[in-house]
Amino acid sequence: MKQMHAILAALRGLLRQTGATLGLGFLGLIVLIAVFADLLPLDPLGQDFLRTLEGPSRDYWFGTDELGRDILSRVVFGARTSLVTAAGAVTIAALIGVPMGLIGGFFGGWRDAVLMRLVDVMMALPAILFAMALIAVFGRSQGAALLAVGITGIPGFARIVRAQVLTLRKRDFVVAVEAFGGTASYNMFRTILPNSWSQILVQVVVLSSVAILLEAALAFLGVGVPPPTPSWGEMLRTGKSYLHEAPYYAVLPGIVLTLTILAFDSIGRGLSRLIENPRDAALQGSLK
Amino acid sequence: MIAFIGRRILQLIPVLLIASVGIWAMLYAVPGGPIGVIVGENATPESIEAARREFGLDRPVAVQYADWLINAVRGDLGASIHSREPVFDLIMDRLPATLQLAVAATIVALVLGIPVAVISAMYPGGWADRILSGWSALALGVPTFWLGILLILWFAVDLRWLPSVSQHVAIWADPAVALRNLILPAITLGVYVSGVIARFLRASLVTELNADYVRTVRSKGLTEGAIMRLHVLPNALLPFITIVGLMMASFIGGAVVTEAVFTYPGLGRLLIQAINTRDYPLIQGCIVVILVIYVLINLTVDILYAYVDPRIEYA
């Protein structure tokens, strides 16, 4: 329940900021479109060889691609690929990273040393290289892209949660639970974790934008979600080959991708502003 | 100082060792192993056995790793499966192109990023600050590869001023041609990095502008411009050096993508080609070299930081 409360409070705080409100609005639209894509009169795979690489028209609002497929449909279904990859990746990163940070910060000592060295190593490699290396091993599939992006997000969660645990560890309410005989796991998951939700939420938003960018970048490099599944990065990759014949092909999916990333970014910055300036009169009481 | 440098180098060893095990073990996590790629799909048990012996895969795992590591330290990263050329030579062939791109992009990033940070920090909350903060958000949010595509569309397809495919020409061989080939990739990569610079440097400048010494020099009658140039900027650049280390990861990632956009013959393109052809020794080699460059830059940044800031003790 505490998570729900934190999310609702954050939402109220965000809606008082223009940038974050715009971000939430655009993102809401993209999520709606991705969820209800099947109900729309769209066909991302149907080919029309008589009408390839056409410009925007009444029949095809965003034009057609090299196989005569409707680019608008592919952008809409690409949103689904993007959001599913991001959601899956963030879940993987949080499920592994949060316990790592909790255990490292709570126990300290050798557990902390081992876990943080692991985090150091993961951070020693740029995320995109790490993801490419994993895909080189697992082969190219949506699952591999999701897993690769997710693993690169683990250090972020581990570090943020660990820092939060370290500041809470010696606080009276945590020591009190310990004094009353609360077990370490009770203390970690029931006392400390609920007080870290706002930080975790910010990380979820930040990582979502990174995940969408990374998924698109991998697809653009030709190692992401394999065709014919529509993906924004893949569309930019193909569109790049037809810049002379069909300039809009690489431009329109890029606009949607950029706006989605900017939306997550503005929400993330809005949330951090809420946490950093709790005294700000306009935002008072909206987030702990 | 020497003890400090020595200790920082020692700290790197465990990280590099774990990473090297990871990179080496990559080969063994591949379904079917690297042998599957070498012998192809219709291999007989005999040819598989022969290939295993040729690549030394029939020896104990620990021996194989030790062997690989010792060779790698000596600069022998094995041979490419496809071209059979030494991986080290293939990489050294491409490295100058990537370094030239990196230097050019850094110049673009500094030229764009520092003025943006200075102006928005001098008038915090004002219209210039709002516009420039929006600009740095845009620089960070627009995917590098899309910005590259837009630049190609505009400057190569529309205006026909610059090539859409960039060759590597050494800057000292033919500066004019080298610049023509370098401008678009350098802007593509540099704009993103300038966003990082602008955001962090602005924060650092704002903190410094509120320091007591600024009030003192202001009361002595110095102009705002002189305060910024002589006092605030040098002080703010100090913490900023550490940001350079953090920036390197996104810089390298951005370079890989930028090279793909402009079909630029650098290390990043070599890595992508290696992944697409499942050339595992080449993949390992590229990642090892990039990792070593990354670690060395971070080490240099740490040492530089300790050197320029006398408040840091290296005892």
List, for residues B86-131, the tens digit of each pLDDT value.
888 899 988 888 888 988 998 998 899 888 888 888 887 788 888 8
pLDDT-derived band of residue A123, with 50, 70 and 90 as boundaries?
confident
Give the pLDDT confidence score for residue A277 in this predicted structure: 67
Q: Which residue of B has its CA nearest to A138?
A: B30
Q: Which residue of A has its CA nearest to B248?
A: A126
Question: Residue A117 and residue B15: Cβ atoms within 8 Å?
Answer: yes
Give the pLDDT confidence score for residue B310 in this predicted structure: 66
Q: Running DSSP on this structure, what letter comes out for residue B162?
A: S
Q: Is the pLDDT of residue B36 over 70?
A: no
Give the pLDDT confidence score for residue B313 in this predicted structure: 57
Q: Is the pLDDT of residue A89 over 90?
A: yes
Question: Residue A117 and residue B272: Cβ atoms within 8 Å?
Answer: no
Across the interface, of B138, B145, B274, the residue whose CB is closest to A217 is B145
Query: How far is A33 from A72, CA to CA, in rounded Å?
Result: 12
Question: Residue A117 and residue B143: Cβ atoms within 8 Å?
Answer: no
Q: Which long-range contacts (CB under 8 A, 24 or more apart) does B78-85 make?
A: B78/B281, B78/B284, B78/B285, B79/B281, B80/B274, B80/B279, B80/B281, B80/B282, B81/B34, B81/B37, B81/B38, B81/B277, B81/B278, B81/B279, B81/B280, B81/B281, B81/B282, B82/B277, B82/B279, B82/B282
Question: How many domains does one find in chain A?
Answer: 1
- Per the CB < 8 A criterion, the answer to whether B237 and B186 are in contact is no
**Rounded mean pLDDT of A199-209?**
88
Q: Is the pLDDT of residue A286 over 50?
A: no
**Rounded mean pLDDT of A189-202?**
83
Question: Residue A129 and residue B140: Cβ atoms within 8 Å?
Answer: no
pLDDT-derived band of residue B245, with 50, 70 and 90 as boundaries?
low
B47: burial class by Cβ within 10 Å (0-12, 13-18, 19+)? middle
- Pick from B182, B195, B193: which is nearest to B262 by CA? B182
CB pairs < 8 Å spanning A and B: 123
In the block, tokens 């650098």 appear at B266
Q: Which residue of A has its CA nearest to B255?
A: A128
First-to-last alpha carbon distance for chain A, in angstroms, is 15
Q: What is the extent of the structural domain holding A244?
A: 2-287
Q: What are phi and psi of A70, to 5 degrees?
A: -75, 115
* Chain B contacts in chain A segment 98-127 (CB below 8 A): 117-118, 120-121, 123-127
pLDDT-derived band of residue A266, with 50, 70 and 90 as boundaries?
confident
Query: How far is A81 from A30, CA to CA, in rounded Å?
Result: 12
Taking 3-state DSSP, the helix, strand and coil percentages for chain B, each rounded to the nearest 5, stand at 75, 0, 20
Q: Is the dihedral of CA B74, B77, B78, B83 positive or negative?
A: negative
First-to-last alpha carbon distance for chain B, in angstroms, is 7
pLDDT-derived band of residue B45, with 50, 70 and 90 as boundaries?
confident
Across the interface, of B250, B276, B287, the residue whose CB is closest to A133 is B287
- Per the CB < 8 A criterion, the answer to whether A53 and A73 are in contact is no
**Rounded mean pLDDT of A238-254?**
83
Give the pLDDT confidence score for residue B41 in this predicted structure: 64
Mean pLDDT lowest among A147-151, A160-164, B209-213? B209-213
Across the interface, of B26, B143, B271, the residue whose CB is closest to A213 is B143
- Write out chain A residues lying below 8 Å of B22, CB-based: 121
Query: How far is A55 from A58, CA to CA, in rounded Å?
Result: 10
- Write out chain B residues lying below 8 Å of A234, CB-based: none
In the block, tokens 């410009």 appear at A55
Looking at every residue in chain A, the average pLDDT score rounds to 82
Question: Residue A247 and residue B275: Cβ atoms within 8 Å?
Answer: no
At A252 the three-state DSSP class reads: helix
Give the pLDDT confidence score for residue A116 in this predicted structure: 84
Q: Is the pLDDT of residue B5 over 50?
A: yes
Higher pLDDT, A7 or A173: A173
pLDDT-derived band of residue A284, with 50, 70 and 90 as boundaries?
very low
Higher pLDDT, A232 or A136: A232
List, for residues B148-172, the tens digit of each pLDDT value.
999 988 888 878 888 877 878 777 8
Query: How far is A217 from A8, CA to CA, in rounded Å?
Result: 32
- Write out chain A residues lying below 8 Å of B249, CB-based: 123, 126-127
Give the pLDDT confidence score for residue A282 in this predicted structure: 45
CATH number at residue A34: 1.10.3720.10
